[in-house]
Chain A
Amino acid sequence: DAGVIQSPRHEVTEMGQEVTLRCKPISGHNSLFWYRQTMMRGLELLIYFNNNVPIDDSGMPEDRFSAKMPNASFSTLKIQPSEPRDSAVYFCASSLDYSLPYGYTFGSGTRLTVV
């Protein structure tokens, strides 16, 4: 298994631009999670899906953030418009099912820099 695949690995964009981060979960995993990691706040859960349906998006910081999961093998996290304070590492993770207390498998992350 190739694991959780995220793209791009690095993204540098100008303030005000739209940014789209992508994630392919492990095949057979029903739940997908988006986390953000910063020095100040550590790892924060932004949103998670189960069977492609968003379950809880209360961690999404603002309306500028949106996430979709159109099918079981693909999810996107979009920031529009981007701001310098959005600079962080964004991780996608997947698990068998969030109804089960299993650990998550993480992707390598996308390092976003907004200038």
Chain B
Amino acid sequence: AQSVTQLGSHVSVSEGALVLLRCNYSSSVPPYLFWYVQYPNQGLQLLLKYTSAATLVKGINGFEAEFKKSETSFHLTKPSAHMSDAAEYFCAVILNSGYSTLTFGKGTMLLVSP
């Protein structure tokens, strides 16, 4: 079985500030990890994914995440927040052995103030 925990249902930053969204996972076998973004009234869009290659993964819109096995973490970061980054972000996990389904965290709403 696998699960993810996202710390903080809401994160507020100022425009230009560092964005850090936290995700910890639990998995019985090595996982693949994903971050999705959901803009208001839209579906989920894939930001980036970790699939056991490089531990530092770069995604769209300047986001990146680092897989840290020792900490069972996959935190999402962006050096400088833009107003357009305001959205809900979901961390998700799937077993790399296949034959499993994507399990999502509860989501973190990112608020960006001018």
Contact = CB atoms under 8 A, between A and B. Distances in A.
Interface of A: 4, 33, 42-43, 45, 48, 56, 91, 93, 98-101, 103-109, 111
Contacts of B94: 101, 103
Query: Interface residue tally of chain B, by bracket?
Result: 20 to 34
Contacts of A42: 104-107
B96 A101 contact: yes
Interface in B87-110: 90, 92, 94-107
Interface of B: 32, 34, 36, 41-46, 49, 51, 90, 92, 94-107
B93 to A, nearest CB: 10
Nearest to B51: A101
Nearest to A108: B43
A74 B101 CA distance: 20
A99 B98 CA distance: 5
14 contacts: A33-B101, A33-B102, A42-B105, A42-B107, A43-B107, A98-B98, A98-B101, A99-B98, A101-B95, A101-B96, A101-B97, A103-B94, A106-B36, A111-B41
Contacts of A104: 102
